[in-house]
Amino acid sequence: MQIENTTAMIPPPIEPDPDRDHSTKITINLSMDEMATTQEIPPQSMTPRSLYFAYGSNLSFTQMRLRCTGNPDRSSKPIAIARLDHWRWLICQAGYANVVPPAALRVSKEFEDFGDEVPVSGDEDAVFGVLFDMDVADEKLLDVHEGVDHHAGPSQHPDRVPVSVRPTEQGQGDYNKWYVPATVTTWLDEEHQRRWGGDVVNILVYVDENRARVSAPKVEYISRMNRAIREAETIGFPKKWAEDVMRKSIPLV
């Protein structure tokens, strides 16, 4: 019986061509939806931002919940009581609350002409407020409520106020966004206290640079401010300061 040779014939190795690029090129085409699902995006809590310093009707966490509809559970939760030293509180010509920075940080002619007419804010010469850790989307919503002009140009006074404090001009807006340190007088949330650490934190505060004269509040604003003061006092907002400063302009109703 004849047995066939079944040994596999192994071809000789192929010598590489030295003039050829042997690197493997792989092209992967991902749609925008696929990219969104495959990229690992760190949670917002991993990148601390400036805490929002409320000093007017937004002292009311009821109002904050109505305005911050993106993530109301987070954005309307008060986390601390804080103080801006040497700032002053007033009701300005627009009929709403405003704060005037210390003399060294006053850049507008309105501040220069009328800033000193604003009464000292209590015995401490400071403005008290409530801090909120707002969601990014809710900060944008609040910008709309506060009338921020996002088309305003860059700051024209970097020599007087650092760009990190006042990045832009107020432009045609009702308020401008400032970023300054504030002193926490009472933490209301242990998790945020651990996260931010210390008693001095960077805050976002809305400032109307174009209206710094003391004036009367709008009628509808009086009731909103009364609600704000009442709610803030339930979490430790200083009653004496509110009585000495705010009640000069906001009658009790």
Spans of all domains in the chain: 45-248
Give the E-state strand segments of the chain in sequence order.
Answer: 51-54, 78-85, 88-91, 97-100, 126-132, 176-187, 200-207
What is the reported pTM? 0.80
Return the pLDDT at 8: 39
Give the E-state strand segments of 56-171 in sequence order.
Answer: 78-85, 88-91, 97-100, 126-132
Return the pLDDT at 114: 82
**Residue pair 217/60 in contact by the 8 Å Cβ criterion:** no
Angle at 100 between CA 95 and CA 102, to 5 degrees: 170
Backbone angles phi, psi at 41, to 5 degrees: -100, 120
Return the pLDDT at 119: 87
Q: What residues are designated binding site for substrate? A: 52-57
Cross-strand pairs, 176: 207
Q: What residues are designated binding site? A: 52-57
Report how far residue 225's alpha carbon sits from residue 246's, in angstroms, rounded to the nearest whole number.
Answer: 9
What is the full per-residue pLDDT of the chain (253 aa) written as tens digits?
Answer: 444 443 434 334 434 443 333 333 333 343 333 333 323 323 333 334 799 999 999 999 999 999 999 999 999 999 999 999 999 999 999 999 999 999 889 988 888 888 788 889 998 899 999 999 999 999 999 999 999 999 999 999 899 899 999 999 999 999 999 999 999 999 998 999 999 888 999 999 999 999 999 999 999 999 999 999 999 999 999 999 999 999 999 999 9
| CATH T-level fold of 45-248 | Hypothetical upf0131 protein ytfp (3.10.490)
Report how far residue 90's alpha carbon sits from residue 102's, in angstroms, rounded to the nearest whole number.
Answer: 14
From residue 176, alpha-carbon distances to 149, 156, 186 in Å are 8, 13, 27
Return the pLDDT at 198: 85
